[in-house]
Amino acid sequence: MPVLPILQWPDPCLARVAVPAVPDAKTAALATDMLETMYDARGRGLAAPQVGVSQRMFVMDVSWKDGTPAPLVVLNPEILAWSAAEAIGPEGCLSIPGAVAMVQRPTSVSLRWTGLDGVVQQAVLTGFAAICAQHEIDHLDGIVTLQRDPQAAASQAMASLAAASQAAA
């Protein structure tokens, strides 16, 4: 069970719209590796495109840092309904280390997905789980936080420029 390398933005795989995932043994093995990779990186969510697999799948565990691991493997997620209420909050991303974007999202979503066993499930997510699921679904659509926060994108571009000119010097 290897820890997988996490692609860094702007890797082209992070800008691709992912194709549907199939619940089979290969996907199950990938999910195991993705969870191990996510825990190793001290993250709470990781989407397949972040490890170079352009399929509609993500893993998340919003409570492991509180000492109660609850790993969730989500295939082919679909948001059925969004809350009218929205909130702006800081979001980090394992593919954009050091950048925190302020992103506005609905505070609750009704999510339908397929589990690794092929069974379709549905749940209403609130709080951090709702934000995390929306962040990971963005990855499946080739969207990263910087595209949702012009200010963070600008400061990230400045940081890249500074790093590039430093490397050139």
74 in Cβ contact with 117 (< 8 Å) = no
- 91 counts as catalytic: no
104: left (phi over 0), alpha (psi -120 to 50) or beta: beta
- Round to whole Å and give the CA distance between 55 and 140: 7
Query: Among residues 24 and 40, whose Cβ is nearest to Zn ion?
Result: 40
Exactly one of 93, 99, 132, 137 binds Zn ion (CB under 5 A); that residue is 93
CB of 168 to Zn ion, least distance (A): 29
Stretch that binds Zn ion, among 6-14, 69-77, 92-100, 107-115 (CB under 5 A): 92-100
- Cα dihedral 70→75→79→85 (10° resolution): 30
Token pair for residue 41? 């990186």
Question: What track of x and - describes contact with Zn ion for positions 40 through 79 (by CB under 5 A)?
Answer: ----------------------------------------
What is the smallest separation between the CB atom of 167 and Zn ion, expressed in angstroms? 25
Near Zn ion by CB under 5 A, which window of 9-17, 86-94, 99-107, 113-121? Answer: 86-94
Choose the stretch contacting Zn ion; rule: CB under 5 A; options: 16-24, 76-84, 89-97, 108-116: 89-97
102 three-class SS: strand
* 48/14 Cα distance (integer angstroms): 10
